[in-house]
Structure 1
Amino acid sequence: MRKAFSFTAIVLGFFMALLDTTIINIALPEMTRQFGGSVSQISWVINGYNLAFAVFILTASRLADQFGRKKIFIIGVVLFTVTSLLAGFASSLGMLIGLRVLQGLAGAIIVPVTIPLTTTTFPKEMHGLIIGIWGAVSGVAAASGPALGGIITQNLNWQWIFFVNVPLGVLSVVLTCLFIQESRDDTAGRSIDYGGTLGITGAMFFITYALIKVQDYGWNSRMTLLLLAAGVLFLVFFFLTQWKGKEPMLPLSLLRIPPFNGATLTMLFVGAGLMNISLLTSFFLTRMMGMTELRAGLVLSMIAVGSIVSSALSGPLSNKYGSQLFGAVGMIMMAGAMYSLSGLHADSTIPEVLIRLVVAGIGTGFTMAPVMSSAVRNVPEEKVGISSGITNMAKSLGGVIGVAIIVTVLQQNTSDGLHAASVRAVKAVEKDAVLQPFLKTVIADAAGSLANVESSPAETSEKVLKEAELAAARLAPSDQQAFAADRSRQTREMELVLSRAGEDMKHEAEQAYSRTYVLASLIMLPGAVFALFSDKRRKRKGAGVPGELTLPQQ
Structure 2
Amino acid sequence: MTTDTASAPFDAPGTDTEPPRTGLRGHPWLTLIAVALGVMMVTLDGTIVAVANPAILDDLDASFADGQWITNGYLLALAVSLITAGRLGDRFGHRRTFLVGIVGFAATSGVIGLSEGVSMVIAFRVLQGLFGALLMPAALGLLRATFPAEKLNMAIGVWGAVIGASTAAGPIAGGLLVEHVNWESVFFVNVPVGLLAVALCLVILVDHRVENAPRSFDLPGVVLLSGAMFCLVWAIIKAPEWGWGDTTTLLFLAIAAIAFAAFVVREGRTGEPLLPLGMFRSVPLSAGTVLMVLMAFGFMGGIFFVTFYLQNVHGMSPVDSGLHLLPLTAVMIVASPLAGALITKVGPRLPLVGSMVVTGVAMFGLSTLERDTGTVEMSLWFALLGLGLAPVMVGATEVVVGNAPLEHAGVAGGLQQAAMQVGGSLGTAVLGAVMVSRVHETLPGKWSEARLPPLPPEQEEGLLEAAELGIAPPAPRGTPEQVADTMTTVVHESFLSGMGLAFVLAGVVAVLAAGVALFTKGGQHGTGPSVHI
Q: TM-score, normalised by structure 2?
A: 0.88
State the secondary structure of the residue aligned to 2:474: helix
Task: Select which of 41, 61, 65 maps to 1:36.
Answer: 61
Contact 1:149 1:161 in 2 (8 A): yes
Task: Select which of 116, 137, 143 maps to 2:162.
Answer: 137
Task: Select which of 97, 100, 103 maps to 1:72.
Answer: 97
What is the one-letter code of the residue matched to 2:519? F
2:3 maps to none
Task: Select which of 282, 287, 295 maps to 1:262.
Answer: 287
How does 1:5-20 map onto structure 2 within 5 Å? 5-20=30-45
- Superposed displacement of residue 323, structure 1: 0.6
Task: Select which of 456, 459, 468 maps to 2:474.
Answer: 459
Greater shift after overlay, 73-82 or 403-412? 403-412
- Superposed displacement of residue 139, structure 1: 2.1
State the secondary structure of the residue aligned to 1:192: coil
Partners in 1 of 2:462 and 2:337 — Cα distance? 49
Is 1:305 aligned to residue 336 of structure 2? no
- Superposed displacement of residue 238, structure 1: 1.0
For residues 293-317 of structure 1, the C-alpha deviation after alignment (integer angstroms, 9 at most, x for no partner) is: 2211221233211111211111122
What is the one-letter code of the residue matched to 1:178? V
What is the one-letter code of the residue matched to 1:84? S
State the secondary structure of the residue aligned to 1:418: helix
- Alignment CA distance shift 1:374-1:449 (3 Å): closer
Partners in 1 of 2:422 and 2:137 — Cα distance? 14
For residues 295-342 of structure 1, the C-alpha deviation after alignment (integer angstroms, 9 at most, x for no partner) is: 112212332111112111111221221111111121222221111111
What is the one-letter code of the residue matched to 2:517? A
- Superposed displacement of residue 20, structure 1: 1.2
State the secondary structure of the residue aligned to 2:207: coil
Report the aligned-residue RMSD: 2.4
- Alignment CA distance shift 1:94-1:446 (3 Å): closer
2:16 maps to none
Partners in 2 of 1:293 and 1:70 — Cα distance? 37
- Superposed displacement of residue 449, structure 1: 7.3
Task: Select which of 47, 51, 57 maps to 2:76.
Answer: 51
Partners in 2 of 1:204 and 1:373 — Cα distance? 24
- Alignment CA distance shift 1:445-1:259 (3 Å): closer
State the secondary structure of the residue aligned to 2:46: coil
What is the one-letter code of the residue matched to 2:81? F
2:249 maps to 224
Partners in 1 of 2:156 and 2:525 — Cα distance? 20
- Superposed displacement of residue 14, structure 1: 0.8
Contact 2:138 2:410 in 1 (8 A): yes
Is 1:399 aligned to residue 424 of structure 2? yes
1:480 maps to none
What is the one-letter code of the residue matched to 1:459? P
Contact 2:51 2:175 in 1 (8 A): yes
- Alignment CA distance shift 1:278-1:501 (3 Å): closer
Is 1:515 aligned to residue 528 of structure 2? no
1:437 maps to none
Partners in 2 of 1:504 and 1:189 — Cα distance? 60
Task: Select which of 502, 505, 510 maps to 1:524.
Answer: 510
Higher relative contact order (CA 8 A, sep 6+): 2
Contact 1:88 1:162 in 2 (8 A): yes
How does 1:175-194 map onto structure 2 within 5 Å? 175-194=200-219
1:337 maps to 362
Identity of aligned residues (%): 31
2:15 maps to none
Runs of 4+ aligned residues of structure 1 deviating over 6 Å after TM superposition are 440-450, 454-458
1:271 maps to 296
Q: How many residues align?
A: 500
Partners in 2 of 1:63 and 1:441 — Cα distance? 60
Partners in 1 of 2:140 and 2:457 — Cα distance? 60
- Superposed displacement of residue 551, structure 1: 6.5
Contact 2:112 2:125 in 1 (8 A): yes
Partners in 1 of 2:422 and 2:155 — Cα distance? 25
Partners in 2 of 1:441 and 1:228 — Cα distance? 40
For residues 413-464 of structure 1, the C-alpha deviation after alignment (integer angstroms, 9 at most, x for no partner) is: 1122112223334xx36xxxxxxxxxx689999767776537876932xx25
Greater shift after overlay, 200-209 or 171-180? 171-180
1:127 maps to 152
Flag structure 2 segments of 5+ consecutive residues without an equivalent. 1-22, 528-533
- Alignment CA distance shift 1:497-1:31 (3 Å): closer
Partners in 1 of 2:428 and 2:379 — Cα distance? 22
- Alignment CA distance shift 1:455-1:323 (3 Å): closer
Contact 1:457 1:499 in 2 (8 A): no
What is the one-letter code of the residue matched to 2:399? S
State the secondary structure of the residue aligned to 1:402: helix
- Superposed displacement of residue 501, structure 1: 4.9
State the secondary structure of the residue aligned to 2:369: coil
How does 1:231-246 map onto structure 2 within 5 Å? 231-246=256-271
Partners in 2 of 1:239 and 1:388 — Cα distance? 19
Contact 1:375 1:534 in 2 (8 A): no
Task: Select which of 355, 359, 365 maps to 2:380.
Answer: 355
What is the one-letter code of the residue matched to 2:175? G
- Superposed displacement of residue 344, structure 1: 1.0
What is the one-letter code of the residue matched to 1:465? G
Partners in 1 of 2:147 and 2:140 — Cα distance? 11
1:147 maps to 172
Greater shift after overlay, 75-84 or 316-325? 316-325
- Superposed displacement of residue 59, structure 1: 0.4
Partners in 1 of 2:54 and 2:323 — Cα distance? 18
Is 1:110 aligned to residue 135 of structure 2? yes
2:445 maps to 420
What is the one-letter code of the residue matched to 2:98? F
- Alignment CA distance shift 1:300-1:254 (3 Å): same
State the secondary structure of the residue aligned to 1:459: coil
